Amino acid sequence: MFSLDGKVALVTGAASGIGAGIAEVLAEAGATVIIADIDKAGAEAMAERLVTAGHKSDAIAVDLTAETSVVRAVADVVSRHGAPWLLVNNAGLQDRQLLFDETVAGWDRTLNVNARGPFLMTREVAQAMVTAGGGGRIVNIASTALINMLAKGHAAYAASKGALAALTTATALELVSHGITVNTVLPGGVATPGAMHAKGPPPEGPAIRRPLMGMCEPRDIGAAVLFFATPAARYVTNQQLAVDAGWTLS
């Protein structure tokens, strides 16, 4: 029920943070995990770490903000490993900016990585999945900022994650007839490089509440992704699963 033996999984932003935790969990379940990141050296180091631990992995450099880079990266992965079974749209920027200080450049930077990037990846990978004809899984990593963890300064961030959640529903509808499911995981607080060094004003607002069970680890998010990726979830599509250590209760 929970094996990914023989499957190829492509995880964006997997050189560090939550993506690295997702990659570990998927590799332990038997998948060949493609570490796709703008940080080429970091992606190669992560793939090497998984291989050294006895798993199957490869690295690909990709800049999600550049259409040509996404098209080339997905074509490279398909030619090396075949069509992925699983795409995890995980890479994302978490910078904050208060409304009156937000610029078009700042808004575009966040939306380009967090929403436009997943659109491009989904288009390219889903096309490969459909051509291969074996179905597949897509998991989008949004945020509990959509439900209960919103902080001041999150206009662009929350809008980008709202777009990603809407992309989940729209693509789930178009891909269901091809045997491809699309679901969303909403992480709560995870102490990653991106979260610790996010630029902008300090978090203020409801998000200063704390998860009752402590901070999640990247692997906790990986476990939720694993569920959506395996045969256990074959009839689960267009769903959201929050992994937030009780944040909704605080």
Ligand X SMILES: NC(=O)c1ccc[n+]([C@@H]2O[C@H](COP(=O)([O-])OP(=O)(O)OC[C@H]3O[C@@H](n4cnc5c(N)ncnc54)[C@H](O)[C@@H]3O)[C@@H](O)[C@H]2O)c1
Question: Which of the ranges 47-55, 57-65, 131-139, 199-207 carries the binding residues for ligand X, by CB under 6 A?
Answer: 57-65
Q: Shortest approach of ligand X to residue 244 CB, angstroms?
A: 9
What is the spatial distance between Cα 222 and Cα 226, in angstroms, rounded to a whole number?
6
**Is residue 157 flagged as an active site residue?**
yes
Question: Which of the ranges 31-39, 49-57, 96-104, 230-238 carries the binding residues for ligand X, by CB under 6 A?
Answer: 31-39
In the shown chain, the binding pattern of residues 180 to 219 toward ligand X, with x for contact by CB under 6 A and - for none, equals: -------x-xx-xxxx------------------------
The first and second tokens of residue 67, run together, are 């259409």
Which residues lie closer than 8 Å to 101 by C-beta, 6 or more apart? Answer: none
Q: Does residue number 17 form part of the binding site for ligand X (CB under 6 A)?
A: yes
Q: Does residue number 19 form part of the binding site for ligand X (CB under 6 A)?
A: yes
Please answer whether residues 193 and 17 qualify as being in contact, where contact means their C-beta atoms are separated by less than 8 angstroms: yes
- Choice between 130 and 195, CB closer to ligand X: 195
What is the spatial distance between Cα 113 and Cα 40, in angstroms, rounded to a whole number?
17
Please answer whether residues 155 and 99 qualify as being in contact, where contact means their C-beta atoms are separated by less than 8 angstroms: yes
The first and second tokens of residue 29, run together, are 């379940």
Count of C-beta atoms within a 10 Å radius of residue 101: 11
Residue nearest to ligand X (CB): 194
Give the interface with ligand X as residue ranges (CB under 6 A): 12-13, 15-19, 37-39, 62-65, 90-92, 94, 113, 141, 143, 187, 189-190, 192-195
